Structures are given as C-alpha cells and as structure tokens.
Structure 1
Amino acid sequence: MKKNSVVVYFRVIAMLMIVIFHCYCYNFGVWPFLIGSPPPYDYSFSPLVLSTLGLSIFVIVSGYLYGFGFFHLFKYKNNSEFFKKKISRLIIPYIFWAIITYVSFPTSVYWKQLFGGIAHLWFLLMLFNCFFIATMTRNLWKNLGGGGLICLIIFLYLMTFLQKSVLLNHLWPLAINKSIAWFYLFFLGIFLGKYMFFQKISEHLKQDPPRWVLFMDRNSMGVYILHHTLIWLAIYYITPIREFMINNPVSGPWWLFLFVLPLSLLCSEYINKSKYSKYIFG
C-alpha cells in the first residue's frame, strides 16, 4: 500500500524536532547526571517545546495508523498475533538498547531504570502501553461515534493531571506512569484515523515526498534510538566535544546536530538492511 504523504512528512518533522531538542539537553540542564554537566543556559526560547511537539506528533501518527488500519483495512483482529508483533518491534529493541545504555554509561544511570524506562527509551515502552490499552479496551470504543470518541479523548486528557500526584511521581515498571500523559493523543490519532483525516489531506498533495524525505522517514525510528546514544557517547567519552559544548552553549547544539543526524541516518540505513533489524529498531 502506498505510504500516506502526510504521515511521512509528520514523522520526519517529529524526528528532526526531537534530535534538535536532545542536542540542546546537555546545555539546557536536562542531563545534570552526565559527566561535567554545566549550569543550565538561559536560552531565549525553551527547547522543551521541540520535544513536546515532536513526541506528540509521533504518538498521534501511531494512533492514526492503528485506527486507520483497524477501521478501514480490518487489521489487528488477532490480539495475540498483534501483541507478539509489538513485543518484537518495541519491547525487544527496548531491552537491547537499554542494556547497551546501562553498560555504556555506568555513572549516569542506575539498574532500576532498566525496568521503568531508561533514558530516551521510555518512549518505546510508552508506545507499547498505548497499543496495549487501545487493544484491550477496543470493544468499549470501536462502536463509538465521533462525539463518543471526543468524550473519551477529553476523559483521557483529564487523566494526565494524575501524573502530578505523589503516587505516579516514582519509577513504575514499563513506564506506566509516564504513559498516562500520552493516551489521549494516541486516541486522538485513532479518531483521526477512523475519519481518514490524513488520507483526505494527502489527496490534495500533488507530488509524492522526495526521495530524501522518504529516506529519513524509513529511518525515523532508527534515528530516534541511535541519535541520543551517539550524543551521550560523544559527551561522555570524548573530552574535546564535551568541552566544546560547555564553552559554546549557543552554537554547540547545532554543530552537534550536524554531526549526529547524518551519522544516525547512515547507521540506521545500514542496520536496517540486516534481517535482524526489526529486533534492533522495531
């Protein structure tokens, strides 16, 4: 089936936003546990906006593909097969990269994080939780009309305020506590998928995405997983890079971006040619 151009563009935009954000994190004070972490630099804008938008787009697109596949392609009827696929594409890659992260950065992470979402890899667990909740509650929402789905989305949005509670402000297994804040966006994606929102927009695009955009799209998950690890490796083990970032808080993140993005893309493209790539990147 031909790729939806809107989905392709959104995934690429989201990927770029997240990579840029992580390039700012060291100087922005997000990673105080990394070696030699400098005091937070007072930027004229908040890089957190890039992270929030990028992650939100990824979650909505994931929900959209799930909803469109269920309502219009009649997929995901076999729950056990669906969960096997999601375990192989989300949980196994999480375990693989979580172990690498734990071994590579022994002074910046601790073992309990392996079970609750270590570093940026919590996102893989959160996506699995979204698919799990949507599938297990499908009989409750599959027959809802537009109004019913909107009410459900509002209810899930109100649940995000629970994340501020003391109970959820701890490390939970499989990043369940972090997942609550994203359920409403996943179901928003399902709602858009049911009514083929992106499909209708895509019909008005006269041209398919250029090859370089398609290249970035097919490597978007690989880049998400790799770029963060490459940034940490550079800062953790290469003193000149770490000192350059500390001394150049304005230009440093952009130089880091120009280094990390192409390297992540090339590594992802190479690894994706392996028959085991689905267990590495999903």
Structure 2
Amino acid sequence: MIKEIFILRSIGCLGIVLLHSIHIALTTVPIREMGELAAITFDSVQMILYYGTPMFIFISEFLISYSYRNRELPDNFLRKRFKFIMIPFIIMAVFYSLPYILEGPNSWFIKVSMNLLIGDYHGYFILIIFQFYIFHLLFHSYLKKASPKILLPAAFLINMAYLTTFNFTEPPAALPYSTYIWERFYWVPLFGWIFYFMLGYYSGLYYESFMRALKKYRYMIVAGPLLTSILLLYFYHSGFLTVHSSKRTDIIIHTAVFSLFLFYVTSHLKYPPKVLEFISRYSFGIYLLHYFYIFLADFIFRQYPLDIGVTYILLLFIFSLLSSIGTVFLLNKWKHGYLLIGKIGAPYVPPASAGNDHKSTSL
C-alpha cells in the first residue's frame, strides 16, 4: 500500500469538510459578528481548500493505475465499484432529496431525479469517478503504450479550455437550460477533470520514476503551493476570476502542485500518522454524510443563535466530522450497512507485510 495516499485522501477529505463548514458559517453568521477581516480571511482559506475534490480524482486513478500496472483488470472491476460506491450514491441522492417532499410530490420527484441522473447534490463527484472507471476500462491498454509527454499536456489543454469556457463566458440564450448548465451541470462531464485523471494514471503507472521526479524537482514542489495560493487569491480578490468552486481554471495547477507537495513531504514519513490513516479509512462516508450534519447543526443554530463569531466554523467542522465518522462506524456494524454509506477502508499495511500483490483500497 502507498502510505502517501492515506495522507492525501485524509487531507483532501478534511479540506472538503472545512471548506463547506466555512461556506455555511459565512452564510449564517453576519459579518459584524464575525468581523470583516476574519470573514475575508476564511473566505480566502476556503478558496485555497478547493483542491479537495479534484485531488480525489488524482488519488482514485493513481491507485487503480498502480494496483493494476502489472496485471489485468478483473472481470468484476465495474461491478465491485457499483456495489460499494454507486449504490451509496443512489441512497444518498434519495436521502438528500427528502426535504423537497415538503414542497409537494412533483418537487420531490424532480429533485430526486436530478440528484440521481445529473448529480444535483454534492455526491456529483461519484458520477465523475464512474466516468473515469469506464474510461480506464476502455482505454487503459492504449494509455499504457502512449507517451505521457504527449497525453499529459493534451489533457491539461483540454481541461483548461473546458473550464475557461464556463468560467469566462455567459450562457447562450438560445441553449435550453443554459443557465443551469453554466452554473452547475458542467461540473459533471469528465472533460473538467481529465488532467487529474491523466496525472494520476501516469504517476501510478510509472511510480518509481514519479518518485524520482519529486526528489529532483523538490524545491519547486515545496514552493509550489505557496505560489499557486497567492496567484489564485490574487485572481479572486482582484475580480479577474470570481468563480467560487473547485471548477476554477486556476485550480488545475493549484491542485496538481498541492498533490505533488503532499506526496513529496509525506514520502519522508515511515508510517502515515494514525489520525490521518483513520480519517482516510472513513473518508468516503465522511464525504457523503458531512453536509447533512452541517445542515443539521446550522438549522439548530438558526433556531437558537449565539454570538460566537468564527468559532461557529470550528463547531460545524468538528460536529459534522465526528457525527459522520460515528454514523459510518455504526452502519458498518450491520452487514448491509456499507450499501447505505460505503465501507470503512482497510488499514495501512507496510510494504514488507503487504507482499507483492499490490491491492488497494481505492474507490
């Protein structure tokens, strides 16, 4: 098992929970209570944390590419992932649509259909991942023979062009549902994430070369996250690019640099820290459930508001994180609980103990 992946997955997961906690807190707590400087600071932190979702694309494909680089994909490759990933996505799509029942059966039917078919809730990420599972299944034999020196730049340009289109143009009036497509649906097609897939694929396929490259360019990699953070904050606060999501054009470079930085730094650790290994094992369930607990805490807070300022961010973060972990733990005590919320991942096993069969816990 690759210890660095445990750390990347946990850092990405914690980043997603924190940025959603910041988003809801900034929506609920007035600036006068939080303080203008604190609000701007946490808004900026939220912007930096948008690496989380695209990093999971990189992680997922890295593990698949690494695990099967010397063997064929099993016949149950898609079936296994449908069972452990797509079924929980379907369950959660229905779950997050339930409040719309209060608006009537038609509203609920529309919402649950949109959740299931086009990922109209934060679980949209799973639809993206499944596109790449199919893409890997269909094209891995070609990708293995192709040159990453050609495909990586090509994927980067496609990804940049795709996001630039939606970041810097207005929805065409003649296109049906163009506003929704420009604001939300463009998140789902794989073109907006193809570079992360290619980076993960070739990093896993050529793992040893990848690690040597990290050491060779270590100074650039260590400085990279600081530089990209400054750049994207400049673009954001200057008004040049005001999109507030992980689908910003500049997030492509930021995520790639941040992923390489974490990989390089954690490669010097003998074992992943226990707390990060633990979070990594629960990350899928945390991802699916944390927003529910953030909404629940925010609903209660709105009924009984307190003047706690930025502390509210910490409250949402801790409550949603611990509640999600507890729910995943309890549901997995039931033999079919994984169908609702996914399985708890396997613990880290040092390479000497893992043998030669590189089995992963990838989604």
User: TM-score range, shorter-chain basis?
Assistant: 0.7 to 0.9
Match of 1:130 among 115, 129, 132: 132
Give 5+ residue unaligned stretches, structure 2. Answer: 213-263, 343-363
1:76 counterpart = 2:73: yes
- Corresponding position of 1:43: 40
Match of 2:163 among 157, 160, 163: 160
- Corresponding position of 1:251: 311
- Corresponding position of 2:26: 28
1:183 counterpart = 2:194: yes
- What's the TM-score once normalised by structure 1's chain length? 0.80
- Corresponding position of 1:222: 285
Q: Which amino acid aligns with 1:170?
A: Y
1:96 Cα deviation (Å)?
A: 0.2
1:113 counterpart = 2:114: yes
Q: Which secondary structure state, in structure 2, belongs to the residue aligned with residue 76 of structure 1?
A: coil
1:47 Cα deviation (Å)?
A: 4.3
Deviations 1:125-179 (A, max 9, x none): 121122222322334322112313323422432333344564675359xx67523
Question: How many residue pairs were aligned?
Answer: 266
CA distance in 1, matches of 2:302, 2:10: 28
CA distance in 2, matches of 1:245, 1:55: 31
Match of 2:338 among 257, 262, 278: 278
Contact 2:93–2:112, Cα closer than 8 Å, also in 1: no
CA distance in 2, matches of 1:130, 1:249: 41
Task: Give the 3 Å change call, closer, same or farther, for CA 244–253 of structure 1 in structure 2.
Answer: farther
Task: Give the 3 Å change call, closer, same or farther, for CA 50–206 of structure 1 in structure 2.
Answer: closer
Deviations 1:92-124 (A, max 9, x none): 111101111111455698344222113211111
Q: Which secondary structure state, in structure 1, belongs to the residue aligned with residue 8 of structure 2?
A: helix
Task: Give the 3 Å change call, closer, same or farther, for CA 251–202 of structure 1 in structure 2.
Answer: closer
CA distance in 2, matches of 1:154, 1:59: 14
- Corresponding position of 2:89: 94
Q: Which secondary structure state, in structure 1, belongs to the residue aligned with residue 180 of structure 2?
A: coil
- Corresponding position of 1:32: none
Task: Give the 3 Å change call, closer, same or farther, for CA 118–39 of structure 1 in structure 2.
Answer: farther
Give 5+ residue unaligned stretches, structure 1. Answer: 30-36
1:276 Cα deviation (Å)?
A: 2.1
CA distance in 1, matches of 2:338, 2:307: 39
Contact 1:18–1:55, Cα closer than 8 Å, also in 2: yes
1:69 Cα deviation (Å)?
A: 2.0
- Corresponding position of 2:207: 196
1:192 Cα deviation (Å)?
A: 0.8
Contact 1:129–1:176, Cα closer than 8 Å, also in 2: no
Contact 2:12–2:52, Cα closer than 8 Å, also in 1: yes
CA distance in 2, matches of 1:185, 1:221: 19
Task: Give the 3 Å change call, closer, same or farther, for CA 217–242 of structure 1 in structure 2.
Answer: same
- Corresponding position of 2:60: 62
Contact 1:245–1:253, Cα closer than 8 Å, also in 2: no
Identical residues among aligned pairs (%)? 22
- Corresponding position of 2:217: none
Query: Please, which moves more after superposition, 44-53 or 251-260?
Result: 44-53
Q: Which secondary structure state, in structure 2, belongs to the residue aligned with residue 68 of structure 1?
A: helix
CA distance in 1, matches of 2:135, 2:305: 41
Q: Which secondary structure state, in structure 2, belongs to the residue aligned with residue 43 of structure 1?
A: helix
Contact 1:89–1:279, Cα closer than 8 Å, also in 2: yes
Q: Which amino acid aligns with 1:234?
A: A
Cα RMSD over matched residues?
A: 3.2
Contact 1:90–1:125, Cα closer than 8 Å, also in 2: no
1:222 Cα deviation (Å)?
A: 0.9
Q: Which secondary structure state, in structure 1, belongs to the residue aligned with residue 339 of structure 2?
A: helix
Q: Which amino acid aligns with 1:95?
A: I
Match of 2:180 among 136, 145, 170: 170
Query: Please, which moves more after superposition, 104-113 or 188-197?
Result: 104-113
1:189 Cα deviation (Å)?
A: 0.7
Match of 2:327 among 253, 267, 275: 267
Contact 2:4–2:266, Cα closer than 8 Å, also in 1: no
Query: Please, which moves more after superposition, 199-208 or 260-269?
Result: 199-208
Q: Which amino acid aligns with 1:113?
A: M
